[in-house]
Structure 1
């Protein structure tokens, strides 16, 4: 099979534990793109948080954001193939967040918002301030998520987290029971909640159609549960060594972890 594109999950896959792309990987991606292979970033992240890496890799293709909730074209500065939640659904989800005492960020079409700064967000904010000014995304503190929902043009995702895993699991189960939301674990203590059907796999399908590429012509790399749909749908699914066994079971094979040069090595084998 001659593959025409390669899709990367970001956290835990393309990025090291220090939120960096290894220099060897950057160089290999540059070599791959010069051969006409399309590179696509696929993440639970908001597009503004993906932009620094998109810029670093000098990409031109749209990115898949918020676990497939929308695609974003940086050239046109607009989203498409979007499936946001309604204001009523967002308020229903907010009620569950408050009931279970779960921390959340609410992602709109423009910005990520939070009411309370937790330890993860504090660390994340440090990364943001380390970037050049023109690449720094806005993470906005708000007094009321209710007001955010009322005033936003679009709500794409709730990024929920808790060190109380029992409460987080109960919240996730309650949200899923509404039969309106997709709850996907993006980390050991973080659950992304979007409209049911919004998955990385579906996002990749929209992207493939946009680029006129068959899914069987795409290689996908991932490490987490929210990557399973993408790993299963792509022509070749490759799991990282740091992935859980259940994730690895949905891949065609497994390589080294995200802190190693395994992605660069694999790209060279596949495309050069």
Structure 2
């Protein structure tokens, strides 16, 4: 089988724990790109937070953002295959967030928004501030999410989190019970909520159709529960060594963790 594309989850997969792409991986990605292999980033992140890596890796493919809620074409600065939630759905989610007391960020078509600076965001801002000014994404502190929802052209995702795991699980169950959302866990204490049907797998399918590439010709790398839809739909699904056992069980095989050179080693085997 000659694979034509490789899709990467970012956090916990392509990125090491310091949020950087390992130099060996960058080198191999440059080499396989030169051979015509398409490299695509598939993330729960907002496009503005994907862009620094897109720029660093000199990519030309659209990014799959917010767990498949939309594709973003950085060359044209436009969204593709977008499936945002309605304002009514967003306000229902906001009520559930408030009812269960979980933290959230709301991702709009323009930027990420937050009301409370939690420990995860503090670490995130350290990374943002380490970037050159022209690569720093805009993350807006707001006073009222209802106003954000009313004024946004599109709402793509609620990124919810809590150190109170029972509360977050109850929130997740309540979201699932509405039967109109996809609630996927991106970390042990973080759950991403988007419109039902928006998954990394569906986003990859949209992109493959646009590129006229068969899914069987795509390799996918991932580490978390929100990567399972991508790992299982791709021709070859590879889980990271740092993934949970349930995620590993859905992959074709498992390599080393995201802080090792396992991705670079595997790409050499597959493409060079």
TM-score band w.r.t. shorter chain: over 0.9
SS at structure 2 position matched to 1:13: coil
Partner of 1:67: 67
Gapped regions of structure 2 (runs ≥ 5): none
Matches of 2:122 and 2:145, distance apart in 1: 19
Partner of 2:176: 176
Offset at 1:38?
Answer: 0.1
SS at structure 1 position matched to 2:8: strand
Offset at 1:121?
Answer: 0.5
Matches of 1:17 and 1:23, distance apart in 2: 14
Once the two structures are superposed, the pairs formed by residues 253-268 of structure 1 within 5 Å of their partners are 253-268=253-268
With the length of structure 2 as denominator, give the TM-score of the two structures: 1.00
SS at structure 2 position matched to 1:7: strand
Gapped regions of structure 1 (runs ≥ 5): none
Partner of 1:125: 125
Number of equivalenced pairs:
272
Matches of 2:240 and 2:126, distance apart in 1: 26
SS at structure 2 position matched to 1:231: helix
Partner of 1:107: 107
1:199 aligns with 2:199: yes
Offset at 1:210?
Answer: 1.0
Partner of 2:218: 218
Partner of 1:33: 33
Runs of 4+ in 1 over 2 A off after TM superposition: none
Alignment root-mean-square deviation, CA = 0.4
Partner of 1:58: 58
Offset at 1:57?
Answer: 0.4
Matches of 1:66 and 1:179, distance apart in 2: 19
Matches of 1:123 and 1:40, distance apart in 2: 25
Matches of 2:139 and 2:103, distance apart in 1: 15
Deviation track 1:149-186 (CA, whole Å, cap 9, x = no partner) reads 00000000000000000000000000110000000000
Partner of 2:43: 43
SS at structure 2 position matched to 1:104: strand
1:165 aligns with 2:165: yes
SS at structure 1 position matched to 2:75: coil
Offset at 1:229?
Answer: 0.4
Offset at 1:188?
Answer: 0.5
Matches of 1:133 and 1:91, distance apart in 2: 33
Matches of 1:173 and 1:247, distance apart in 2: 20
